[in-house]
Structure formats: C-alpha cells, structure tokens
Amino acid sequence: MRVLLVIPQISLNSPPLGIGYIAARIRASGHMADILNTAGMPDGRLLAYINDGGYEIVGFTSMTFLMPEIYRLAGIIKNEMGNYFYTQSSKYGED
C-alpha cells in the first residue's frame, strides 16, 4: 500500500514528530509512506504528485487553524481524483 502524508501550507525544516512516527510505523508494517509539505505548492501540482505516485491513501497532519485548508485540499482531491481514503491526525482531531 502506498500512503502519502501531507503537511498543509506550513514552511518547516523537518516534518512534525507525530507524522514522522506515523510514517515510520507504516513503513515498519511493510507499506510505503511518503511525507509531503505542500507549502507554496499549487493544487494542480499536488494532484499530479498523488496521481504520479500511485498513492492509495492520503493523510493530513493538522493544527486547528489549518482545518479549513485541509478540508479544501481533501475536497479538491475527492472531486478531481475520486476514490481516495482520507484521514487526518491532530492533537485536536478527535470527536
């Protein structure tokens, strides 16, 4: 399984620790996991990246103030690419 973990619109030198742990656990389970920071990336480039990479799952890491951007990106992916599984990870993401 190919999993893409997305960091939306934040310029960072390294990924947040939580998403790094998630990627490591996915890899330890025998699957492929990549982390992508979308800061400054046009929507079309993100869609091409997902399509070209053959990803089956797209996950988002978030902070509360980024939720509108995550909902926007997830909507674009769903509308343009169809049947993807989406998930998000956040300290505050639990209902």
Mean pLDDT across the stretch 39-59?
Answer: 92
Domain count, the chain: 1
Residue 72 lies in a domain: no
- Spatial contact of 22 and 31, defined as CB atoms under 8 Å apart: no
Residue 71 lies in a domain: no
pLDDT band at 61 (very low <50, low <70, confident <90, very high): confident
Per the structure block, which two tokens stand in for 12?
């960072």
> How big is the CA angle at 8 (ends 5 and 11), to the nearest 5 degrees?
110
The Cα–Cα gap between 58 and 55 comes to 7
The residue range of the domain holding 50 is 11-61+80-95
Residue 44 lies in a domain: yes
Residue 53 lies in a domain: yes
Q: Is the pLDDT of residue 24 over 90?
A: yes
Mean pLDDT across the stretch 13-17?
Answer: 73
Q: Is the pTM of this model over 0.85?
A: no
User: What is the signed CA dihedral for 92, 93, 94, 95, rounded to 10 degrees?
Assistant: 100
